[in-house]
Structure 1
Amino acid sequence: MDRPELPLLQLHAFTVLAEELHFGRAAARLGIAQPPLSQQIARLEAKVGHPLFVRAPGRVALSPAGRELLPSARRALAGLADGLAAARAVGSGQAGRLRIGFSASLALTVLPGLLRTFRERFPAVELDIREMTTVPQLAALHEDAVDIGLLREPPPAGEAAALGFRTVLTEPFVAVLPSDHPLAPRRTVEVGALAQEPFVLLPRAVGPGLYDRITELCGSVGFAPRIVQHAVEWQTVCALVGAGLGVSLAPASIRRIRLRGVAFRAVEPGTVRTRVAVAWRRDDPNPLVARLLEAVGAE
């Protein structure tokens, strides 16, 4: 047998009358006349199949069926109120879930401050943080697998027209050297002095923009790096450099990776910089995206 659906308007009228036990006062609380209230209660009693109130001259009381229904009616109305409040919070960007992809190296620079600022402003938002390199981030944004990307070297304008990008910071490069390398005692290393060195770099496939920026830096002084080893994470790149497999050029924030046997030195020329950007889908209706972009602006 199908369960009868109880309209929330009737449940509301029922609970108010159950609290007031007076049709006139209940109608006043509801902002309606007494006859419509009586009609709502009559319809609800017809659905239940039993009287919900015992009516006597000058007296209204809950019937046994009414006493049984009242707790469930209150729970249903409270659940609706909670649902409406939650929906309003999500719709206004005060609550909900935000999926953020980030490049691992950004945990050494902009990510902690950005998340702290966002958390302080929107403590009810659930953050789903996912570490991934640039190319997978772009794919995840296109596929609606993440809402926000924090990445290095976004693609040129026109290659990802569906996405928006906002620069968060730019930073120079540093030379990554074995600590016993002949150039390690210097405070600044000329990039051209690395022309004959073997290089350890990230593969171009995971971050073509950053890879091209590094080769551009080498090309600006007349050589192409001789790459002998690839590693996907900068910490691994630094570890391989410390093991003597070669040298590298890396964003300056990589200096925060502390590994024995590795030296970081400023480079000359220092005019080539790497760009860090926040990325999002331009047509994303999630209001939390706009809230995070506001937090980026506050950084």
Structure 2
Amino acid sequence: MPLPQLHAFVVLAEELHFGRAAARLGIAQPPLSQQIRRLEERVGHPLFERGPGRVTLSPAGRALLPAAERALAGLADGLAAARAAGSGRTGRLRIGFAASLALTVLPGLLRDFRQRFPDVRLDIREMTTAPQLDALREKTIDVGLLREPPSGEPELDFRTVLSEPFVAVLPSGHPLAARRSVPLEHLAGEPFVLLPRAVGPRLYDRITGLCETAGFTPRVSQHAVEWQTVCALVETGLGVSVAPASIRRIRLRGVAFRRIDPGTARTGVAVAWRRNDRDPLVGHLLATVGPEPCDPGTSE
């Protein structure tokens, strides 16, 4: 049923006067009469009873009015929802994140985003780097937060949001734990606990590359998918590790975190999204992240 006819009908039902109703609608009285007549033809019955100086709703009109009001209200709600979604004020944003980023950029980013867009539903999924990249390509997440983004990804874009140094992760009773900083070559004879290469190839290669630059290939005795598990295994004495500095926020009494000497090696955290993605929610998140990387510092 044409919405202009329903709108004209509802306004006339409220005014019960053709002149006032036409004025509210911003049209002349003859076009209003034509709209009402066409609607009555569709219904098959008069909607108004017209008499000298008076207009009243007919039984058919009284029956139609509630449904017409609901239809117009539903349309108004739908238009408002469409405008809100189109501008990125509502909707759902699916975010993948590496678990260790819950110690750094994730809490502040989500807090800032929710303050700016409280009606957007956030779907947060803990994922390591490689699954995040797959999920972005398969469009099962909209944005990723990952370490050591790859290069040469034709479908994806990346923006570095955090740059931090590496630290040595040692059992608290280890002789090197008594030092403020640890030359990386002093770990040459130690067993290592690292994340599997499959879950973060570039970070794994970055750490092993640092060791090779220091003159040794790390002997990896244990793998763990999460940094918290890496630290727990180090605490038991199964080995040492090299990790991003933010891992120090995992508080285990039996683990010591020490600066690596020299401290020039750094690892990057990036936000990732599909190239040419026009979803306004993705744009809002990127604006919340901002263009400049931050640094958590190197204090112990």
For normalisation by structure 1, the TM-score amounts to: 0.95
Partner in structure 1 of residue 11 of structure 2: 16
Is 2:115 the counterpart of 1:120? yes
For normalisation by structure 2, the TM-score amounts to: 0.95
Is 2:180 the counterpart of 1:187? yes
From 211, 227, 248, the equivalent of 1:234 is 227
Partner in structure 1 of residue 239 of structure 2: 246
From 160, 164, 172, the equivalent of 1:167 is 160
Q: Tell me how far apart the structure 1 counterparts of residues 61 and 179 of structure 2 sit (CA, whole Å).
A: 87
Task: Spell out the pairing of 1:243-282 with structure 2 (5 A cutoff).
Answer: 243-282=236-275
Partner in structure 2 of residue 3 of structure 1: none
How big is each residue's C-alpha offset from its partner over 1:166-194, in whole Å with a ceiling of 9 and x where there is no partner? 01011001111111111111111111111
Give identity over the alignment, percent. 78
Task: Spell out the pairing of 1:24-39 with structure 2 (5 A cutoff).
Answer: 24-39=19-34
Partner in structure 2 of residue 99 of structure 1: 94
Task: Spell out the pairing of 1:71-220 with structure 2 (5 A cutoff).
Answer: 71-156=66-151, 158=152, 160-220=153-213
Matched-pair contact (CA < 8 Å) for 2:161–2:291:
no
Q: Tell me how far apart the structure 1 counterparts of residues 45 and 182 of structure 2 sit (CA, whole Å).
A: 90
How big is each residue's C-alpha offset from its partner over 1:37-81, in whole Å with a ceiling of 9 and x where there is no partner? 111111212222222111111100111221121121111111111
Is 2:45 the counterpart of 1:50? yes
Aligned residues: 292
Q: Tell me how far apart the structure 2 counterparts of residues 295 and 108 of structure 1 sit (CA, whole Å).
A: 18
- How far residue 298 of structure 1 moved from its aligned partner, in angstroms, is 7.5
Q: Tell me how far apart the structure 2 counterparts of residues 292 and 91 of structure 1 sit (CA, whole Å).
A: 15
Give unmatched runs, 5+ long, in structure 2. 293-300
Partner in structure 2 of residue 64 of structure 1: 59
How big is each residue's C-alpha offset from its partner over 1:131-172, in whole Å with a ceiling of 9 and x where there is no partner? 10000001111111111110000002x2x1211110101100
Deviates more, 1:192-201 or 1:89-98: 89-98
Deviates more, 1:147-156 or 1:179-188: 179-188
How big is each residue's C-alpha offset from its partner over 1:245-274, in whole Å with a ceiling of 9 and x where there is no partner? 111011000000112311111111211111
Specify the code of the residue in structure 2 equivalent to 1:272.
A
CA gap 1:47/1:108 in 2 versus in 1, 3 angstroms: same
From 213, 219, 222, the equivalent of 2:215 is 222
Matched position secondary structure for 2:89: coil
Q: Provide the alpha-carbon RMSD of the alignment.
A: 1.2
Matched position secondary structure for 2:93: strand
How big is each residue's C-alpha offset from its partner over 1:187-238, in whole Å with a ceiling of 9 and x where there is no partner? 1111111100000000111101111110111112111110011111001111
Q: Tell me how far apart the structure 2 counterparts of residues 69 and 285 of structure 1 sit (CA, whole Å).
A: 42
Specify the code of the residue in structure 2 equivalent to 1:40.
Q
Deviates more, 1:201-210 or 1:282-291: 282-291
Q: Tell me how far apart the structure 2 counterparts of residues 216 and 261 of structure 1 sit (CA, whole Å).
A: 27
Matched position secondary structure for 1:85: helix
Matched-pair contact (CA < 8 Å) for 1:213–1:272:
no
Matched position secondary structure for 1:161: coil
Q: Tell me how far apart the structure 2 counterparts of residues 125 and 298 of structure 1 sit (CA, whole Å).
A: 22
Q: Tell me how far apart the structure 2 counterparts of residues 168 and 150 of structure 1 sit (CA, whole Å).
A: 9
